[in-house]
């Protein structure tokens, strides 16, 4: 499932326990992702799902769930 894989990627990239990363967690406020973290996450997600995340998309997604919904709708 897309959400589960995204949680795996986020927890690995941000060095967080998976139990902390929830669908409604905000990437920046709750999980502490900075701008460089967001770039790294975007690259990992692009590699994993074969999609491109533009800067606009990265700026618009606020929660783990938002990111999962975008990826699910746009993955190949």
pTM across the whole model: 0.93
Residues 34, 19: Cα–Cα separation, whole Å? 20
CATH top-level class of 2-74:
mainly alpha
Question: Please, where are the H alpha helices in 1-76?
Answer: 2-13, 35-49, 55-60, 64-74
Retrieve residue 58's tokens: 């990265």
The predicted pLDDT at position 75 comes to 85
pLDDT mean for each 10 residues of the chain (76 residues): 96 96 97 95 95 92 96 89
């Amino acid at each position: 499932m897309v959400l589960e894989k995204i949680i795996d990627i986020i927890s690995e990239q941000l060095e967080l326990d998976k139990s902390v990363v929830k669908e409604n967690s905000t990437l920046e406020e709750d999980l502490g992702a900075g701008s460089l973290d967001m770039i790294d996450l975007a690259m990992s997600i692009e590699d994993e799902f074969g999609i491109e995340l533009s800067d606009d998309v990265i700026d618009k997604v606020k929660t783990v769930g938002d990111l999962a919904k975008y990826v699910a709708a746009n993955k190949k």
